[in-house]
Amino acid sequence: MLLSITTTHEPASDLSYLLHKHPDRFQSFNLSFGNAHVFYPTVSQEQCTACLLLDVDPVGMVRGKGHHQSFLLDQYVNDRPYVASSFMSVALSQVLGSALNGRCKDRPELVSTPLPLTVQIAVLPVRGGEELIREIFEPLGYEVAIESYPLDELFPDWGESPCYTVTLTGTKTLAELLNHLYVLIPVFDNRKHYFVGENELEKLLEKGAGWLADHPLKDQISRRYLKYKPSLYLTALARLVEETETEETELENESEETAEDLPDKAVPLNQQRLGSVMAALRASGAQSVLDLGCGEGKLLCELLADRQFEQIVGLDISVRSLEIAAKRLKLNRLPERQAQRVKLLHGSLTYRDRRLEGFDTAALVEVIEHLDPPRLAALERMLFEFARPKTIVLTTPNREYNVMWETLPADQLRHADHRFEWTRTEFQTWATGIADQFGYSVRFLPVGPEDKAVGAPTQMGVFELKSHTDT
């Protein structure tokens, strides 16, 4: 795989100072996965081109590395020697580290000088096609030229290869260009060769400093770079969000809009609800707890503050809510012991999810009314049949109470996204049916000020697995 960088800045040979590589020499470097070579095919006053050629040795990489699993052909025969992948990022940092980090001993003023640069990557494996290449590089101010290839010239029907030769042209400092490449090359490939850990997150934030937070595809870039590790990805997003100050205020403004102001505003209803849910969770004796449909993470914060709960998992379908939750929990700044107690998962409550099995208890606070009836049936199975925690604490609005809110027109639901709101009888009929069907018992508690005629604003059901209570 070959990366070439060309400048027409004069004198063009300045590029060699920035790269810390002598223009007259062919230099080779031994890396853990093969060799890297740096050479200059063109050096003149007007134009200078430097090449980084990477020679990956797929056999050498696995030999003697303690791979005890059965023989995998893929380890030996794969595309790694021929495409620009995360190996290229490693080579950039090991061979061109000074340039990447913006250091230049001999000509320090060059570091901050934007130069007319053209970089060609041959070849870049891309999951997402030409469109993704443009969507990623164009917002960074590059002109993008893409050359595509047939998968096999003999079989045109097979269509196009996912590998492209990509040429980017722009006026950038060399460090900017190299940092973009460092982060983005592995993002296209979407397959990483080395372990993704804390360190990777630090690298992403460091190399993405100053440009990633404003990139329209920052979510996708972070997720792919961190290879779909939700916890790392969410921490990354939380920290990127912190970088953009304008978004700071959104946390305040974006919380759920609701008609639920209580007549006597002493303690807001959502706080009373949290209090009741926390009390039920504590009383269950649970040590591991799921907050399903955790939203912006208010309950998670309360759980984290109580040491009874050793393992806390929040799940939501909304990435935006999870970002806010990560921020509210200060996930990126928690001491390690605390951070280990809490995890955020992106997922849906309507699919079986093995990550949710084996917990003592689950809370679903104001969630079921957000699901269409057929989805609710899917949630019932996923929760009561598969995840099957010993205790389930579930709240939902009591529709009867809506008349107490003068500002809420008759027949209107409390929140625009609610699919239904149940009367007490409707909720209790549903809950009792489900409990019977799946072997749970259930009891009901009012939450908030109780009116004689219409009951309390929120209704809570606490389900307990029967085999659990019997033993």
Task: Give least dist CB 256 to ligand SAH, A.
Answer: 6
| Residue (213 or 238) nearer to ligand SAH, CB | 238
Choose between 168 and 294: whose C-beta lies nearer to ligand SAH.
294
Compute the least distance from the CB of residue 251 to ligand SAH, in Å: 14
* Interacting residues toward ligand SAH by CB under 6 A: 293-295, 298, 316-318, 321, 348-350, 365-367, 370-371
* Sequence-distant (≥ 6) Cβ neighbours of residue 127 within 8 angstroms: 162, 188, 189, 190
User: From the CB of 378, what's the least distance to ligand SAH, in Å?
Assistant: 8
Q: Which is nearer to ligand SAH, 166 or 277 (CB)?
A: 277
Identity of the residue, 84 or 349, whose beta carbon is nearer to ligand SAH in the bound complex: 349
Q: How far is the CB of 118 from ligand SAH (least distance, A)?
A: 45
Structure tokens given for 281: 């969770």
Q: How far is CA 360 from the centre of its chain?
A: 26
Distances (CA, A) of 339 to 328, 420, 452: 13, 36, 45
Q: Quote the least distance from Cβ 255 to ligand SAH, whole Å.
A: 8
Task: Select 83 or 289, whichever has its Cβ closest to ligand SAH.
Answer: 289
DSSP 386: I
Taking the complex as a whole, the smallest distance from the CB of residue 459 to ligand SAH amounts, in Å, to 14
Do the Cβ atoms of 193 and 80 come closer than 8 Å?
yes
Q: What contacts 24+ positions apart, CB below 8 Å, involve 355-358?
A: 355/313, 356/290, 356/292, 356/313, 356/315, 356/382, 356/386, 356/387, 357/386, 357/387, 357/388, 358/288
Q: Select 98 or 318, whichever has its Cβ closest to ligand SAH.
A: 318
Please give the backbone phi and psi of residue 163, each rounded to the nearest 5 degrees, phi first.
Answer: -105, 140
CA-CA distance, 221 to 208, in Å (whole number)? Answer: 10
Q: Are 260 and 283 within 8 A, CB to CB?
A: no
CA distance 10 to 15: 10
Residue nearest to ligand SAH (CB): 295
Nearer to ligand SAH, 239 or 298 (CB): 298
We find the least distance from the C-beta atom of residue 304 to ligand SAH, in angstroms, to be 15
| Nearest-10 crossing angle of helices 218-225, 174-189 | 70
Mention every residue, 6+ apart, whose C-beta is less than 8 A from residue 108.
Answer: none
